[in-house]
Amino acid sequence: MKAETNVESTDSLTVSAPGKVILFGEHAVVYGRLAIAAPISLRSYLKSDILREQDTPQVTLSMPDLGMQQTWTISELPWTVAMKVRDKPEADLATALEPDLTNAISWFLSKTSPELKKKKHHFEAQLAFLYLYMLLCSPNDNSYTYTLTSEIPIGAGLGSSASVSVCISTALLLRSGHLQSVRCLEDEESKQQSLDAINRWAFVGEMCIHGRPSGLDNTVATMGKAICFSRPGGGQQMKTAALGTIPELPLLIINSNISRSGATQIAKVRDARDSDPKRVDRLFDTIDRVTLLAIIKLTETVRDEKTLATLVHCLGELIQINHRMLAALGVSHGRLERVRHLLDGRKLAYTKLTGAGGGGCTISLLRAEGEALTETLQQLDEEGYSSVLTSFSSEAVKISVDENVE
């Protein structure tokens, strides 16, 4: 049995969490049908280093991928407002933002970093970090530097903000003593309780960034499991069910580098349904059947290479059907169809759009690798696409200790 590692004696630790893809069910899920989200091997990383010799305690958030580093003197943060808010039950704090605290932090950031108004991602990251920091940590805290890096593209529908929120939540729960050991995710007795706490506070971080998130992305990033979900409508809460561990099949994510608005694509589908409800509902029902079949296939046991090949083929056909239904809804894009033409036309992969569509990314379940795939990826690169090889993942949020730090 591994010895407990006290957080207070740990000078340096790193937290990581996965991104995600919507595998099946986009758009149809808005109208009560099923969808599947799955974690991928691309991850975000947050390194937390204690600085023991500073006379004036400070906290630094560094995001080198975005060219951002900001240091705050801890005593100058708006603690008066935070302490009033912290008197409320945690159940309330973890389900809705407190306007007094968000306003106080926003005002503080506008005074200390006026240029943030023009840097949306910088502002959102700093707001989410400070909001969680001030609810979980102390005005008498030690000095720390938090350094965030990520393999997940921003704004591509791959759960980058949720992955980051899970990392921030975990690191701050550890540094504040709410999670008392860096081994808390290895102890079967306390693991689920720790994961639930991480997920609750990661959802708060997501609220700081997105306003009204579904909670799906942070749950996938925390638990590291594929999830089947639906939105019943009528203001009811989203229903979720874990599918458990799925095979780590190879995936290719292609970014069209066409910016898209999820709200615009959702509105387009709504207008189409208003114009021809029978046709659009038939498309939704087909997507729902595809998703149900995918759930069955993903929960079957893979015993050998033959059953694995059968799984890839079956999932691949379902992926292609799902994409055709989404294209019929009008949410594809010429750049996405170009990817399908090259990859699927050359029998290299099974491809569909992922997320809202209208741009953004495709996901491809790979059928073949080698020279033909390399040449196709080079061609896509020359046409202005960007690509990353990844896979489905079963790794949840992770905590590691830098053993080289004394």
Half-sphere exposure of 73 (CA within 13 A, CB side): 5
Do 127 and 106 form a contact (C-beta atoms < 8 A)? yes
100 a catalytic residue: no
Tokens of 353: 């759009």
Report the predicted TM-score, pTM, of the whole model to 2 decimal places.
0.89
Q: Are residues 338 and 309 in the same domain?
A: yes
To 10 degrees, the CA torsion angle through 252, 258, 259, 265?
-90
Do 164 and 125 form a contact (C-beta atoms < 8 A)? yes
Point out the catalytic residue in the list 55, 65, 217, 288.
217
Do 202 and 169 form a contact (C-beta atoms < 8 A)? yes
Q: How many CB atoms lie within 10 A of CB 206?
A: 26
For the chain, the 3-state helix, strand and coil shares in percent, each to the nearest 5, are 45, 25, 30
DSSP secondary structure of 6-53: BGGG-SEEEEEEEEEEEEE-TTGGGGT-EEEEEEEEEEEEEEEEEETT
Tokens of 269: 């589908």
**96, part of any domain:** yes
Strand pairing report for 12-24 and 34-51: antiparallel
Give residue 1's pLDDT band: very low, low, confident or very high (50, 70, 90). very low
Give residue 2's pLDDT band: very low, low, confident or very high (50, 70, 90). very low
Instruction: For residue 22, give Cα distances in angstroms to 29, 39, 47, 72.
Output: 11, 9, 28, 37
Helix, strand or coil for residue 295? helix
Instruction: For residue 156, give Cα distances in angstroms to 54, 60, 66, 152, 262.
Output: 39, 27, 16, 8, 11
The CATH number covering residue 249 comes to 3.30.70.890
Q: Are residues 213 and 251 in the same domain?
A: no
Do 175 and 11 form a contact (C-beta atoms < 8 A)? no
**376, part of any domain:** yes
Q: Are residues 168 and 282 in the same domain?
A: no
Q: Are residues 275 and 357 in the same domain?
A: yes
Q: Are residues 376 and 249 in the same domain?
A: yes
Do 128 and 162 form a contact (C-beta atoms < 8 A)? no
Q: Are residues 194 and 134 in the same domain?
A: yes
- Residue 405, pLDDT score: 45
Can you count the helices (H) and strands (E) in the chain? 12, 12
Q: Are residues 194 and 290 in the same domain?
A: no
Domain count along the chain: 2
Q: Are residues 296 and 216 in the same domain?
A: no
Give the residue, 271 or 214, on which the prediction is more confident. 271
The b-or-e profile of 311-321 (16+ CB within 10 A means b, else e) is: bbebbbebbbb
Rounded distance between C-alpha atoms, residue 155 and residue 157, angstroms: 6
Q: Are residues 347 and 270 in the same domain?
A: yes
Instruction: For residue 326, give Cα distances in angstroms to 26, 187, 269, 337.
Output: 8, 43, 10, 12
State the DSSP H helix or E strand holding residue 289, giving kind and residue range, or none if neither.
helix 277-298
The CATH number covering residue 60 comes to 3.30.230.10
Instruction: For residue 249, give Cα distances in angstroms to 88, 221, 333.
Output: 45, 18, 26
Q: What angle do CA 186, 131, 210 make, to 5 degrees?
A: 90
Per residue in 285-330, pLDDT (tens digit) is 999 999 999 999 998 888 888 989 999 999 999 999 999 999 999 9
Per residue in 79-110, pLDDT (tens digit) is 999 999 999 998 889 889 999 999 999 999 99
**2, part of any domain:** no
Q: Are residues 262 and 383 in the same domain?
A: yes
**337, part of any domain:** yes
**330, part of any domain:** yes
**3, part of any domain:** no
**281, part of any domain:** yes
Question: Lowest-confidence range among 172-181, 232-241, 326-335?
Answer: 232-241
**20, part of any domain:** yes
Per residue in 338-392, pLDDT (tens digit) is 999 999 999 999 999 998 899 989 999 999 889 999 999 999 999 999 999 999 9
Q: Are residues 97 and 136 in the same domain?
A: yes
Residues of the domain holding 83:
12-230+398-402
Q: Where are the alpha helices (DSSP H) in 176-213?
A: 188-210
Q: Are residues 176 and 290 in the same domain?
A: no
